[in-house]
Structure 1
């Protein structure tokens, strides 16, 4: 998958939410099922065997789910293929994901790699904004706040200021050791990635 494809948010999600999802999936200790049959079988175990529930989740008929489970259908159409991948990866290795999130929230923090337009305001001065490529560590406190907001179903607009504040404190003010009162606003996010 190209960098451009990776940075395109999934429908209904923004770049920050999509980046958090990708970060979780990078911690998998084993590959998620790849074939449609294996994905359907896995998802059926998560749906407690209910073909009806899985069919509703995937937006297909029960009969379609049954055919993929039996292996009589093997090549899903584009929308079903994307849904199978998304649903499988969202359910894959929940303990591994939870452990990575817990570590990020309590001790490890997260790394953020962002390309965005940053502008600044500070007491008595200002700096014209420009596009910057920034890689910095986010403290466990901010990691916890970001992950809790994500888990609570926060929107991109609700996450954006928290990520901006985390980047400001980590990168620009170095946790309050310089540039007191600086506030960095970032807009026009070209790409963003997190690492646990």
Structure 2
């Protein structure tokens, strides 16, 4: 399965963390209980019973099932170091931008009489801060993967295919069949 653009954005922000995320199930559960202010809310977020959460916190249970382990890690990472995450997001959205590295099928919508068949391309391209801001804002607002991919396609069209809008004016880019997608801050 190919990583989603939203997941790649989350991973890029995780790269800014200054401390390791808790590793053991007990430490992760304790952190989640503290963040959510109780075992009941932690149980609801994870889709397990309150008693199960209490058993992990006390250390009676140590090794969660694989599906629970994944949900637990995801929920802890989502809440880990929010100020560091916000600072990295702000820096990318205001000064640094981000780098998109992808292998995907790119096709074009161009003026009448010109065509360019879609083909698989490997592209690594820095996008300006405005696209970082658009992507992070769309992710926070719960936009779907297609909408995020369209923002990335617009950025790649401007910076890679139109050379920062200095040529190929009016060229629209289709970004499909993503095989690989990584984002770095």
TM-score interval (norm. to shorter): over 0.9
Q: How does 1:4-153 map to 2 (within 5 A)?
A: 8-9=2-3, 15-48=4-37, 50-123=38-111, 124-153=113-142
Q: 1:189 aligns with which of 169, 172, 178?
A: 178
> Aligned with 1:189: secondary structure?
strand
Residues 93-136 of structure 1 show CA distances to partners (whole Å, capped at 9, x for unaligned) of 11111001101111110100011001113224121111000000
Q: TM-score, normalised by structure 1?
A: 0.90
Q: C-alpha separation between the residues in 1 aligned to 2:130 and 2:68?
A: 38
State the secondary structure of the residue aligned to 1:126.
coil
1:38, distance to aligned residue in structure 2 (A): 0.3
Aligned equivalents of 1:125, 1:56: Cα separation in 2: 55
- The 1:109–1:130 alpha-carbon spacing in structure 2 relative to 1, beyond 3 Å, is same
State the distance in 2 between where 1:79 and 1:131 align.
33
How many equivalent pairs are there?
A: 184
Kept in 1: contact 2:2–2:178 (CA 8 A): no
Distance in 1 of aligned mates of 2:85 and 2:177: 29
CA–CA separation in structure 2 for the residues paired with 1:108 and 1:18: 20
Q: Higher mean Cα deviation, 29-38 or 15-24?
A: 15-24
TM-score (norm 2): 0.95
Q: Which runs of 5+ in 2 are unaligned?
A: none
* RMSD after superposition: 1.2
> How much has 1:8 moved relative to structure 2?
4.0
Q: Distance in 2 between matches of 1:190 and 1:79?
A: 24
